[in-house]
Amino acid sequence: MSNTGVFITSLGIISPVGQGLNDTLDAIRKATRGIKPLHLFPTSHTPPLPVGEVGSFSLASDLPRTHALALVAAEEAMKHAAGVPDAVVIGVTTGGMPFTEELLKRGELDSKQYEYHSTGSVAECVARHVGCTGPVLTVSTACSSGAVALKIALEMLRSGMAKRVLAGGADALCRLTYYGFHALQLVDEAGARPFDRNRRGMSVGEGAAILLLTSADDPPDNAMAELLGAGLSCDAYHPAAPHPEGTGALRAMKDALSDACLSPADIEYIQLHGTGTLDNDLAEAKAIHALFGERPIPPLSSIKGSVGHSLGAAGAMGAAVSVLSIAHDIIPANAGFHEPDPQLNLIPVRMPTVKDINTALVNSFGFGGNNAVLAVGHPRRRKRPETPVCADRLRSFTVLGSACLTAAGGLEQTIDAMRHGKGLPGIVSFSEIVKPLSEKYVRRLKRFPRMALSLAVSACGASATDGPPSSVFLGTGWGGLSETYDLLMNLFASGERFASPTDFVGSVHNAAAGHVAVHFKSTGPNVTMTGGDCSFEQALFSACLLIRRSDKPLLVIGADEHHKILSPLFDASVLPGGPPSDGGGALCLKPATPAAPRRVCPSFMAYSPNNDQVILALIRALGGNRTIREQFGAVMAGIPAAQRARGTAQLEEFLSITGYPHPVIDYRRFVGEFASASAVATVLAVSFIEAGEIPENICDRRKTPLRGRGVLILGFGHVVTAVEVVP
């Protein structure tokens, strides 16, 4: 046990009511309402729907709006910070979509124009700007992304792997979300009125909030607040609607309290998710009543009537505003609320109210039934509980089951094809994807969610005795490309009149993980990471941080679909003329004891630009040259085509420093170029270890015995990663 706390020592915020801490605080005090008809781009609506649009700000013109908003917030957070953060964790859903949709609308086919499309490029932009050389993670869990990012940052700090983490969320208004939420009939034409009896929906918004978190035994002088704890859960109920009884929301609130060693009576303010939709506000109200029971419910309010719903930024913005509430003793008004709703039986705070607040809960819920709740406290005014740090830190997982999909088929066919020297790069056949799935269940799912679900079902099929997985971690570079493309093209073809609700819900990056959760009733954390070529490693890394020791299995999946138009535009490694390829891998895992067989351990992740020591750091993290030579009978190296030169140099440096004598498998040459190729490599590594050898024709014409050694999976390029698989 220790008394280490995680403190918020600075933050940056930009929202429709102001840029920077001072303006935001002023707007909270004046109850400024920032919701107005959309001005940013022309629409087919007259007048345009009301949104939370950020006014003019210094926009780096060569960057999409999401990136620019994130940079504004990050710059403010780092303004007075001494030193560079050890890690960056950003929650985001739109990424470069503000550019991408305009480019696609005018039929632009130059892939260079799309270089900032990926959600992962937002966190990388921030990392580059602040000079971070550690893990750079991207969370894409729809409207809870920002809060989930803060939870991951909290666990990185608690585990001791980082001392300072820059974390938050950012999202910008774009046609995809503007029309998408309208198609779901979730937009209030009068502007969001959270918790009001006459509420008709949300107002889509935008903005960014980024917090600098610092771990310390005693509150630093500049501590504004303490991040006391956080809870994650999944409804496992429906792709878009919350559980009608708010059971998932309740579980996340309870988990946040227990993670922070608090009881409901300690909470002095609740910042509601409060989007203003009929279903969200009702489910949230039910969850709050269930949490407090007969006890008095503290003051509560939603800021979304003032700033709109900034999606991936919302959870971080909620956290930032709660920090201001605690530091300046003020409860923000619940703008838009006029008439109480007897069904909700909760009256939010109507006017800005001066009040001492020591402890607050911040609610954040998203599509896929994805719930995240943060507990934020005054850094000094309350007695801090002793929190266990590192005590149950997970080092590795044991593999219960695994599956992969490649152009050859499943795992057996993939190995067979490799053994016979057949080229694997290619597209997974549709019949192979749907093999384990019921047609009725997947009728609404396009290629990517089907792949993810198919992998999940196959990986868990082999481990039925351990029960279904309780949590789901999914890494994908690009998410549902078919849904995104179909949505945008049909929208443009109809003169921006019709957006398919099904495609919109499917285009959200975490939709696939949501379907997996519904299938298995996995109500634990449900986390989708979208960090480009190391998305799968990021999913594995997050699982290690978020899963406590337990006997319950979890799923870690990596998958990407090839889309004939979008993949060559978005993924610089998908070269014109090269064989199109896609696929993925899934592992059903359980937290491992040191003696457990078939262990998987994500042991290194570092952002490499401007870091010429990255390979030395990698070698150190793996235990040094001798350990590497003795422990690993083969290296599987992932070098994305777009980063061949840099990646090859990194691999050569690694091999020459370690004097590595065993085979190296350049696995993308077998499985093809797609972002989550490393998931396939990891599943192959597990199967090699089970067999005790690498089959013939893979690294040598003959079989290569592993002699009890493990396999090391390395990723090179912008981000250098290591995943150890040991017998």
Partner 1 sequence: MDELISELKVKIIETLNLLDVRSADIKDDAQLVGGDLGLDSIDVLELVMMLEKDYGVKIDTKELGVKVFASVRALADYVYQNRLGSAH
Q: Quick one: 230 or 240, whose CB is closer to partner 1?
A: 240
Min dist. Cβ of residue 440 to partner 1 (A): 6
Ranges within 220-239 binding partner 1 (CB under 8 A): 238-239
Please pick, from the candidates 37, 501, 609, 663, the single residue that binds partner 1 as defined by CB under 8 A.
501
Q: Quick one: 381 or 444, whose CB is closer to partner 1?
A: 444
Task: Count other Cβ atoms within 10 Å, centred on residue 593.
Answer: 11
Please tell me the distance from the alpha carbon of residue 319 to that of residue 376, in angstroms, as a whole number. Answer: 7
625 Cβ contact list (under 8 Å, min separation 6): 619, 657, 658, 659
Q: Of 66-74, 354-362, 451-459, 493-501, which part binds partner 1 (CB under 8 A)?
A: 493-501
Min dist. Cβ of residue 669 to partner 1 (A): 37
Q: Of 318-326, 387-395, 412-420, 495-503, which part binds partner 1 (CB under 8 A)?
A: 495-503
Min dist. Cβ of residue 240 to partner 1 (A): 6
Please pick, from the candidates 84, 241, 297, 489, the single residue that binds partner 1 as defined by CB under 8 A.
241
Closest CA relative to residue 385, chosen from 222, 266, 214: 266
Q: Of 118-126, 180-188, 551-559, 671-679, which part binds partner 1 (CB under 8 A)?
A: 180-188
Please pick, from the candidates 456, 505, 557, 713, the single residue that binds partner 1 as defined by CB under 8 A.
505
- Is residue 390 within 8 A of residue 383, CB to CB? The reply is no
Min dist. Cβ of residue 498 to partner 1 (A): 5
Q: Quick one: 217 or 439, whose CB is closer to partner 1?
A: 439
Min dist. Cβ of residue 238 to partner 1 (A): 7
Please pick, from the candidates 41, 292, 492, 498, the single residue that binds partner 1 as defined by CB under 8 A.
498
Q: How far apart are the first and last CA of the chain?
A: 32
Please tell me the distance from the alpha carbon of residue 189 to that of residue 48, in angstroms, as a whole number. Answer: 9
Q: Of 66-74, 90-98, 182-190, 449-457, which part binds partner 1 (CB under 8 A)?
A: 182-190
Task: Decide: is 500 part of the binding site for partner 1 (CB under 8 A).
Answer: yes
Min dist. Cβ of residue 42 to partner 1 (A): 21
Ranges within 444-483 binding partner 1 (CB under 8 A): 444
Ranges within 541-600 binding partner 1 (CB under 8 A): none
473 Cβ contact list (under 8 Å, min separation 6): 513, 525, 527, 528, 529, 539, 540, 542, 543, 554, 555, 556, 557
Q: Quick one: 65 or 199, whose CB is closer to partner 1?
A: 199
To the nearest 10 degrees (0 to 180), the angle between helices 614-621 and 644-658 is: 50
Task: Decide: is 185 part of the binding site for partner 1 (CB under 8 A).
Answer: yes
Ranges within 265-284 binding partner 1 (CB under 8 A): 278
Q: Quick one: 112 or 443, whose CB is closer to partner 1?
A: 443
Min dist. Cβ of residue 629 to partner 1 (A): 54
Please tell me the distance from the alpha carbon of residue 262 to that of residue 604, in angstroms, as a whole number. Answer: 33
DSSP characters over 303-345: SHHHH-B-GGGHHHHHHHHHHHHHHHTEEPP-TT--SB-TTT-
Q: Of 72-80, 177-185, 559-567, 591-599, which part binds partner 1 (CB under 8 A)?
A: 177-185
Min dist. Cβ of residue 437 to partner 1 (A): 12
Q: Quick one: 502 or 510, whose CB is closer to partner 1?
A: 502
DSSP characters over 146-215: HHHHHHHHHHHHHHTS-SEEEEEEEE---HHHHHHHHHTT-B-TT---TTBTT---B-BB-EEEEEEEEE
Min dist. Cβ of residue 183 to partner 1 (A): 6
Q: Of 106-114, 150-158, 178-186, 650-658, which part binds partner 1 (CB under 8 A)?
A: 178-186
Q: Quick one: 25 or 508, whose CB is closer to partner 1?
A: 508
Min dist. Cβ of residue 307 to partner 1 (A): 25
Question: Residues 613, 615, 616, 617: what is their CA dihedral angle, to the nearest 10 degrees?
Answer: 80
Q: Quick one: 181 or 520, whose CB is closer to partner 1?
A: 181
Annotated catalytic residue within 67, 273, 378, 718:
273
Closest CA relative to residue 77, chosen from 321, 320, 376: 320
Min dist. Cβ of residue 527 to partner 1 (A): 23
Amino acid at 247: T
Q: Give the H or E element holding residue 8.
A: strand 5-15
- What are φ and ψ of residue 715, in 5° steps? -115, 135
Q: Quick one: 497 or 626, whose CB is closer to partner 1?
A: 497
Question: Residues 60, 66, 72, 78: what is their CA dihedral angle, to the nearest 10 degrees?
Answer: -120
Q: Quick one: 99 or 504, whose CB is closer to partner 1?
A: 504
DSSP characters over 491-519: HHHTTS----HHHHHHHSTTHHHHHHHHH
Please tell me the distance from the alpha carbon of residue 606 to that of residue 124, in angstroms, as a whole number. Answer: 11
Largest CA distance in the chain: 77
Annotated catalytic residue within 143, 174, 404, 534:
143
- What are φ and ψ of residue 493, in 5° steps? -65, -25
Task: Decide: is 343 part of the binding site for partner 1 (CB under 8 A).
Answer: no
Strand partners, 259: none
- Three-class DSSP category at 355: coil
- Over the window 277 to 316, marking each residue x when it contacts partner 1 by CB under 8 A and - when it does not, the resulting string is -x--------------------------------------
Q: Quick one: 429 or 500, whose CB is closer to partner 1?
A: 500
- Over the window 432 to 451, marking each residue x when it contacts partner 1 by CB under 8 A and - when it does not, the resulting string is -------xx--xx-------
- Over the window 34 to 73, marking each residue x when it contacts partner 1 by CB under 8 A and - when it does not, the resulting string is ----------------------------------------
Please tell me the distance from the alpha carbon of residue 153 to that of residue 9, in angstroms, as a whole number. Answer: 14
Min dist. Cβ of residue 154 to partner 1 (A): 34
Q: Quick one: 511 or 572, whose CB is closer to partner 1?
A: 511
Please pick, from the candidates 70, 184, 236, 285, the single residue that binds partner 1 as defined by CB under 8 A.
184
Q: Of 114-122, 179-187, 202-210, 415-423, which part binds partner 1 (CB under 8 A)?
A: 179-187
User: What is the distance of C-alpha 433 from the center of its chain?
Assistant: 25
Q: Quick one: 113 or 500, whose CB is closer to partner 1?
A: 500
The dihedral built from the CA positions of residue 625, 628, 629 and 631, taken in this order, carries a sign that is positive
Strand partners, 5: 216
Amino acid at 40: L
Task: Count other Cβ atoms within 10 Å, centred on residue 433.
Answer: 25
Task: Indicate if 143 belongs to the active site.
Answer: yes
Annotated catalytic residue within 309, 378, 563, 718:
309
Q: How many CA atoms lie within 13 A of 285 on its CB side?
A: 21
- Is residue 157 within 8 A of residue 543, CB to CB? The reply is no
Task: Decide: is 30 part of the binding site for partner 1 (CB under 8 A).
Answer: no
Give the binding-site size for partner 1 (rule: CB under 8 A): 19
Min dist. Cβ of residue 468 to partner 1 (A): 21
601 Cβ contact list (under 8 Å, min separation 6): 395, 396, 397, 544, 723, 724, 725, 726
Which residues of the shown chain bind partner 1 in the complex (CB under 8 A)?
183-185, 238-241, 278, 439-440, 443-444, 494, 498-502, 505
Could you list the active site residues?
Answer: 143, 273, 309
